[in-house]
Amino acid sequence: MAIARKVPQVRPARPLLTLADGLAQLSFAVQSAIGRVADLHDLSLVQIRLLGILRDREPAMLAVATVMNLDKSSVTGLVDRAERRGLVRRTTTPEDGRAVRVGLTARGRGLAQKLTKQVDRELGRLVEGLPGVHRRALLTIASQIVADDARRRFPDVARRP
């Protein structure tokens, strides 16, 4: 694992933006890029996000709520609609009669894979003007922020099996 690769200098074009503005605007640009993919499939951004989360997990409803920063009742509706589209399935577990786990159906998994590729392409377009160096720096920095944020939001995580 490449732990000490350098990211050489980055020539800052005079920033007309503050960091906060830059992050905010970037986030809107990213969301609308994902939104374009959503439109292709007549899905919402939130549905896409749900599928993205379920790519490698089969969490309980409440866990979905936590990860997505939603009220649990919002997740009920979200999963209802995804289920109605045949993308997602609710499973009850024998060891806890209250718990409901959510997982992708075959169709949902297929779609999720396609979405991943398309989002990749669409976001690739967003950064196509950047030199590779910048792109790598961005990946590093974004990963760091996301990891920090996760650590802050879930102080105690058992990395799932």
Partner DNA sequence: GGTTATTAGTTGGTGTCACAAACTAAATAG
Partner DNA sequence: CTATTTAGTTTGTGACACCAACTAATAACC
Give the Cα separation of 41 and 152 in Å (integer): 34
Candidates 17, 23, 29, 72; binder of DNA (CB under 7 A) is 72
Kindly tell me which of 96 and 131 has the beta carbon lying closer to DNA: 96
Other CB atoms closer than 10 Å to residue 34's CB: what's the count? 19
Residue 42 touches a second copy, criterion: CB under 8 A: no
* Amino acid at residue number 48: I
Residue 63 touches a second copy, criterion: CB under 8 A: no
Residue 93 touches a second copy, criterion: CB under 8 A: no
Give the Cα separation of 126 and 35 in Å (integer): 13
Give the Cα separation of 83 and 46 in Å (integer): 14
Residue 69 touches DNA, criterion: CB under 7 A: yes
User: Which residue do the tokens 């993205």 mark?
Assistant: 52
Candidates 76, 116, 123, 134; binder of DNA (CB under 7 A) is 76
Q: Please say whether the beta carbons of 118 and 36 come within 8 A.
A: no
Residue 37 touches DNA, criterion: CB under 7 A: no
Q: Write out the residues near a second copy by the rule CB under 8 A.
A: 1-32, 34-35, 49, 52, 69, 116, 119-120, 123-124, 126-127, 129-130, 134-149
